[in-house]
Amino acid sequence: MKNVTVGEFIVNTQDNIPGSSGELSKILSAIKLASKIVSHEINKAGLAANIIGAVGSENIQGEEQQKLDLYANEKFINALSARGVICGVASEENESYIAFNNEINNKAKYVVLIDPLDGSSNIDVNVSIGTIFSIFKRKSQGEKPVEISDFLQSGDQQVAAGYIIYGSSTMLVYTTGNGVNGFTFDPGIGVFFLSHPNMKTPKSGEIYSVNEGNLNHFHNGVKKYINYCQSENKEQNKKPYSSRYIGSLVADFHRNLIKGGVYMYPSTKKAPNGKLRLLYECAPLAFIIEQAGGKAISESGRIMDIIPKKLHERTSFFIGSSNMVDTIEQLMNSED
Contacts with ligand AHG by CB under 6 A lie at: 63, 92, 115, 118-120, 211, 247-249, 275
Comparing CB distances to Mn ion, the nearer of 229 and 288 is 288
- C-alpha 84/C-alpha 178 separation (Å) is 25
Residue 248's binding partner out of ligand AHG, Mn ion, none, with CB under 5 to 8 Å set by partner kind: ligand AHG
Nearby residues of 145 by Cβ (< 8 Å), 6 or more positions away? 87, 88, 99, 101, 106
- Judged on CB neighbours under 10 Å (0-12, 13-18, 19+), 177 is middle
252 binds Mn ion (CB under 5 A): no
Comparing CB distances to ligand AHG, the nearer of 63 and 156 is 63
Stretch that binds Mn ion, among 86-94, 152-160, 211-219, 260-268 (CB under 5 A): 86-94
Residue 74's binding partner out of ligand AHG, Mn ion, none, with CB under 5 to 8 Å set by partner kind: none
- C-alpha 272/C-alpha 242 separation (Å) is 27
**Min dist. Cβ of residue 217 to ligand AHG (A):** 12
Residue 93's binding partner out of ligand AHG, Mn ion, none, with CB under 5 to 8 Å set by partner kind: none
**Min dist. Cβ of residue 152 to ligand AHG (A):** 20
**DSSP symbol at 307:** -
Distances (CA, A) of 279 to 158, 259, 316: 10, 25, 13
Comparing CB distances to ligand AHG, the nearer of 99 and 288 is 288
Nearby residues of 111 by Cβ (< 8 Å), 6 or more positions away? 86, 87, 88, 89, 90, 97, 135, 136, 137, 138, 146, 150, 151
**Min dist. Cβ of residue 265 to ligand AHG (A):** 7
**Min dist. Cβ of residue 19 to ligand AHG (A):** 32
Residue 150's binding partner out of ligand AHG, Mn ion, none, with CB under 5 to 8 Å set by partner kind: none
Which of 23, 115, 252, 329 is the binder for Mn ion (CB under 5 A)?
Answer: 115
**Min dist. Cβ of residue 197 to ligand AHG (A):** 27
- C-alpha 246/C-alpha 285 separation (Å) is 17
Distances (CA, A) of 165 to 42, 140, 174, 249, 328: 11, 33, 11, 10, 27
Comparing CB distances to ligand AHG, the nearer of 10 and 90 is 90
- C-alpha 126/C-alpha 209 separation (Å) is 20
Q: Which residues sit at the interface with Mn ion, rule CB under 5 A?
A: 92, 115, 117-118
